[in-house]
Amino acid sequence: MPDRGLPLYWATGLVGLAGGFAASKVGWPLPWMVGSLLAIIAVRCLSPWQLPEIPNGRRCGQCIIGLGIGLHFTPQVIEQVGSHFALIFFGALFTTVSSVLGVWLLRRSGEDRATAFFASMPGGSGEMVNLGARNGAVLSQVAAAQSLRVLAVVLCVPALFKLLLGDGVALNHTGSVSWAWLALIAPLGVAAGWLWQRLQQPNPWLFGPLLVAATFSLAGNLQIALPNGASQIGQWLIGSGLACHFNRAFFRRAPAFLGRTLVATALSMALAGAAAWGLSLLTALDLRSLTLGMMPGGIAEMSLTAETLQLSVPLVTALQVMRLLFVLFLAEPLFRYWMSKRPA
């Protein structure tokens, strides 16, 4: 057992690093996120150690990833993404609408309307819990379903892409490191994340740095990137933070509910893949980037996967952000409309 005088979260970081190192040695995609995630979950489930989240660790990881994503935005890539705005709009809308399968499955297991609805929406966990709280959902079930959905997508999608689709075609984003620009952009990104949080906006520590980095990258056509190792640190911090939501009690809680959540997630992923294939036939856009952008996962995790597999990070991010906006702005009005149609 560790010294009781030391905070336990230091062990969380070490276990995550060990898992990430092991995953990198076997060639697993996103090794530092997936490896740390699985290692910490294993310790929390198989030992008495309930490793806590590293204080502000996930926020730091999201800041790093947000900066990295933003630096991928160049005028040339944005022009391509903008020319396919209608495709991005309808692709994200389809992903959102497909969540009705999850609502139907959870309703069949006896869940009330509010719990089934907000547990199935492919939005951020915190945002869906807040909306569920305002509409009478069982918050523990909503949080469990949202966490399990992200876990399933993170574990399955990168591995399936690597296995079935290979490494992708290398894109022209091999920017050099400019410490002068990064010394300006990084503090402004952190400040933007803080302001975004104060304004109670979704994913503040991802979107704030992302918007700052993208603005500078587009305005100056900088063609720069984060230094080597930054992405791995971000992966490690995000994976370690996500893992701390899971323990033995989580997986023992309402197994039928969790099973239906997994089935709904798998169906949503299959529908997203089919829709991406159909949309790719109508455009010259890469099927892999479209598919990844339509997956019901987190923005940071899917954008990281795109970067690792050398896909179009701006396109994937645009699809993911559009889906999140649909969910945030339409979920509650649609739910209240559904409730208004309930028979007396």
Number of neighbouring beta carbons within 10 Å of residue 246 = 19
pLDDT in tens, 146-163: 888 988 988 888 888 877
Amino acid at 114: A
Answer for the pair 257, 106: CB distance below 8 angstroms, yes or no.
Answer: yes
**Strands, E, within 139-202: which ranges?**
none
Amino acid at 1: M
Which tokens in the block code for residue 233?
A: 């640190």
For residue 310, tell me if it sits in a domain. yes
For residue 342, tell me if it sits in a domain. no
For residue 223, tell me if it sits in a domain. yes
pLDDT in tens, 178-228: 899 999 999 999 999 999 999 888 789 998 999 999 999 999 888 888 998
CA torsion angle for 172, 92, 90, 259 (degrees, to 10)?
130
For residue 175, tell me if it sits in a domain. yes
In the predicted model, what is the mean pLDDT of residues 294-313? 84
In the predicted model, what is the mean pLDDT of residues 278-296? 86
- Position with higher pLDDT, 170 vs 87: 87
Residue 239 burial (10 A CB sphere; 0-12, 13-18, 19+): buried
Position 335 pLDDT exceeds 50: yes
Q: What pLDDT score was predicted for residue 166?
A: 60
Number of neighbouring beta carbons within 10 Å of residue 230 = 16
**What phi, psi does 252 have (nearest 5°)?**
-85, -15
Q: In Å, what is the CA distance from 28 to each residue of 35, 76, 163, 252?
A: 8, 31, 10, 28
Residue indicated by tokens 């499955």: 105
Cα–Cα dist 13/239, whole Å: 10
Q: What pLDDT score was predicted for residue 172?
A: 46
CATH of the domain at 214: 1.20.1530
Q: What angle do CA 305, 123, 17 make, to 5 degrees?
A: 40
For residue 122, tell me if it sits in a domain. yes
Which tokens in the block code for residue 166?
A: 């290979």
Among 319, 61, 344, which Cα is nearest to 190's? Answer: 61
- Position with higher pLDDT, 159 vs 230: 230
In the predicted model, what is the mean pLDDT of residues 10-35? 91
Answer for the pair 171, 311: CB distance below 8 angstroms, yes or no.
Answer: yes
For residue 344, tell me if it sits in a domain. no
Which tokens in the block code for residue 148?
A: 């399990």
DSSP 291-336: HHHHSSS-HHHHHHHHHHTT--HHHHHHHHHHHHHHHHHHHHHHHH
* Number of domains the chain contains: 1
Q: What is the pTM of this model?
A: 0.82
In the predicted model, what is the mean pLDDT of residues 286-294? 88
Amino acid at 238: I
Question: Strand, helix or coil at 187?
Answer: helix
Position 341 pLDDT exceeds 50: yes
For residue 159, tell me if it sits in a domain. yes
- Residue 48's domain comprises 9-337
Confidence grade of residue 2 (pLDDT, cut at 50, 70, 90): very low
Position 18 pLDDT exceeds 90: yes
For residue 1, tell me if it sits in a domain. no
Q: What pLDDT score was predicted for residue 22?
A: 95
